[in-house]
């Protein structure tokens, strides 16, 4: 039996197996994330510094264009906090969607838990989000944004966002193996999603009916949570935490279920 056939016969295991394999392949995950970082900044003079410069430069452009119209206090910080969450999800899910296809040659040669590849892309996006935080800190200092003790709670919305992005990424990576047009469709959706998420604008400028619709957007809750703890010194209540965690766990459960059901067919399609 060759390696490709053996990969097809690997039995699907339960959730416990996911965690066991995660621990067993943690060094591979680390190497894959490190590889992506090196590839992203290969032959760049400033290298990883661009992870901080990119959001700062984009912030300057957005602030110059929109700050007068939005009349939001500390607009630059407001924008960066929203942009960090959106970019985290956008980069993580987009990378996860293509992870199986990109690593097709490795999947055919050796047995590696296939979910490792979408997971690595979301972890890579998390690393970039942490660098993005440096840009946020710089703007907070320059703009003299008031600091609150709640800023130490920032890992909570990032954790919720990570679970949500991983779940959505697993769904997208499964669909993309069988339906390659998903890349183009999702690209259009990401553009629409950016405008449907209150990144540039505050929701209080919208009519009440539109505000209610915006709340159906998962990113609305993660962006709002992140801004609350970073900028406004608010601790989101139990209901908001349950909403954020509930959305994340629903998407993660669907993602794991769909991925597990179809993963043995991937090798026939890539």
pLDDT under 50: residue ranges of the chain = 1-13
pLDDT at residue 189, rounded to an integer: 95
Spatial separation of the C-alpha atoms in residues 113 and 170, rounded to whole Å: 13
- Count CA atoms within 13 Å of residue 267 on its CB side: 19
DSSP type of residue 144: T
**Alpha-carbon span 62 to 75, nearest angstrom:** 9
Q: What share of the chain is helix, strand, coil (3-state, %, to 5)?
A: 80, 0, 20
Burial of 129 (0-12, 13-18, 19+ CB in 10 A): buried
User: Which is it for the CA torsion 28, 34, 40, 42, positive or negative?
Assistant: negative
Question: What Rg value do the Cα atoms of the chain yield, rounded?
Answer: 20
**pTM for this structure?**
0.88
pLDDT given at position 13 = 47
Helices 218-227 and 238-262: angle between axes, nearest 10 degrees: 130
Structure tokens at 45: 């003079």
The pLDDT of residue 98 is 93
How much is the pLDDT for 106?
83
Tell me, what's the pLDDT at 9?
39
Separation CA 148–CA 165 (nearest Å): 27
């Amino acid at each position: 039996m060759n390696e490709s056939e053996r990969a097809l016969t690997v039995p699907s295991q339960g959730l416990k197996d996911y965690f066991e394999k995660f621990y067993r392949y943690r060094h591979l995950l680390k190497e894959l994330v490190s590889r992506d970082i090196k590839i992203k900044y290969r032959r760049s003079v400033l290298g990883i510094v661009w992870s901080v410069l990119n959001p700062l430069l984009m912030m300057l452009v957005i602030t110059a264009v929109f700050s007068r119209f939005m009349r939001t206090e500390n607009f630059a910080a407001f924008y960066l906090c929203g942009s960090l969450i959106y970019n985290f999800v956008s980069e993580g899910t987009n990378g996860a969607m293509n992870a199986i296809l990109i690593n097709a040659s490795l999947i055919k040669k050796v047995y590696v838990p296939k979910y490792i590849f979408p997971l690595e892309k979301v972890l890579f996006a998390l690393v970039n989000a942490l660098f993005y935080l440096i840009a946020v800190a710089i703007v907070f200092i320059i703009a003299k944004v008031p600091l609150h003790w709640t800023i130490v709670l920032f890992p909570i919305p990032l954790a919720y966002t990570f679970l949500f992005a991983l779940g959505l990424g697993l769904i997208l990576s499964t669909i993309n193996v069988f339906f390659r047009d998903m890349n183009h469709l999702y690209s259009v959706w990401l553009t629409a999603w950016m405008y449907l998420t209150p990144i540039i604008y505050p929701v209080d400028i919208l009519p009440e009916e539109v505000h209610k619709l915006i709340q159906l957007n998962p990113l609305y809750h993660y962006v709002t949570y992140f801004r609350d703890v970073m900028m406004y010194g608010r601790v989101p209540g139990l209901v908001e935490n349950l909403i954020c965690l509930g959305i994340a766990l629903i998407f993660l459960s669907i993602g794991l279920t769909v991925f597990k059901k179809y993963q043995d067919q991937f090798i026939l399609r890539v």
